[in-house]
């Protein structure tokens, strides 16, 4: 097996160009595999100019929705989200007033080998398509008093969740306000 000197295959900007899909180079051998999940110099050159201060892990059974969450300034979080095992439908909604993409979203299916960079000023959520372990690398620490959410099925957002019938949603997430009523304090550009 040859030596690969490029630890990340690609950084691809999505329809909202501040959201970046990261494809990892995975180095398999007879023992398993190795992959670098974060390397500051690579992320800076890939357009992700943030470091991380907290790492979270969640497990969600197939059908679970965790959405659409964000933190207000000054505790706004950028998130690099990575599926350790399983598959998730992942969503980022632009909540930056004045942004050309305000109120629009991007979505991707994430599985091991890919991550999504969700910058500050975006609400984030996902639905587990399979039982999934999910890592969040965040740019600021969790602050309960700054946490907010948007109703995951807001028709104005037009998100096509893969599994609406039978979706498992927390009581809190089912009571989030609609996008037009949500509290935000983000201006474009940040």
pLDDT by residue (tens digit) across 35-71?
Answer: 888 888 888 888 888 889 999 999 999 999 999 999 9
- Total of domains in the chain: 1
Annotated catalytic residue: which of 50, 70, 82, 136? 136
With cut-offs at 50, 70 and 90, classify the pLDDT of residue 13. very high
* 59 found inside a domain: yes
* 123 found inside a domain: yes
Annotated catalytic residue: which of 24, 50, 69, 105? 69
Residue 14 is predicted with a pLDDT of: 96
Return the structure tokens found at 61: 């059974």
| Mean of the per-residue pLDDT values of the chain | 93
Q: Is 69 a catalytic residue?
A: yes
Return the structure tokens found at 96: 């930056």
Among residues 29, 48, 87, the alpha carbon closest in space to that of 37 is found at 48
Cβ atoms 117, 60 nearer than 8 A: no
Domain of 99: which CATH number?
A: 2.60.120.10
Residue 109 has pLDDT above 90, yes or no: yes
* 84 found inside a domain: yes
Helix (H, G, I), strand (E, B) or coil at 181: helix
Residue 88 is predicted with a pLDDT of: 98
Return the structure tokens found at 74: 């000054």
Residue 150 is predicted with a pLDDT of: 98
Taking the C-alpha atoms of residue 7 and residue 36, their distance in angstroms, rounded to an integer, is: 6
* 188 found inside a domain: no
* 2 found inside a domain: no
- Tens digit of pLDDT for each residue in 158-190? 999 999 999 999 999 999 999 999 999 999 998
Residue 49 is predicted with a pLDDT of: 81
Helix (H, G, I), strand (E, B) or coil at 171: helix
């Amino acid at each position: 097996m040859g030596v690969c000197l490029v630890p990340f295959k690609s950084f691809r900007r999505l329809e909202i160009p501040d959201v970046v899909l990261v494809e990892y180079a995975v180095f398999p051998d007879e023992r398993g595999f190795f992959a670098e999940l974060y390397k500051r110099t690579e992320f800076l050159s890939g357009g992700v100019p943030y470091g991380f201060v907290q790492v979270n892990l969640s497990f969600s059974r197939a059908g679970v929705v965790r959405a659409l969450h964000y933190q207000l300034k000054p505790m706004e979080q950028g998130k690099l989200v990575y599926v350790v095992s399983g598959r998730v439908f992942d969503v980022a909604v632009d909540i930056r007033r004045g942004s050309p993409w305000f109120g629009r979203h991007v979505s991707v299916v994430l599985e091991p080998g890919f991550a999504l960079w969700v910058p500050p000023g975006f609400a984030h959520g996902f639905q587990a398509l399979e039982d999934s372990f999910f890592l969040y690398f965040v740019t600021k620490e969790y602050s309960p008093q700054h946490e907010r959410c948007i109703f995951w099925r807001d028709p104005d957002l037009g998100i096509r969740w893969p599994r609406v019938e039978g979706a498992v949603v927390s009581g809190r997430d089912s009571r989030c306000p609609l996008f037009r009523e949500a509290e935000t304090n983000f201006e474009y550009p940040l």
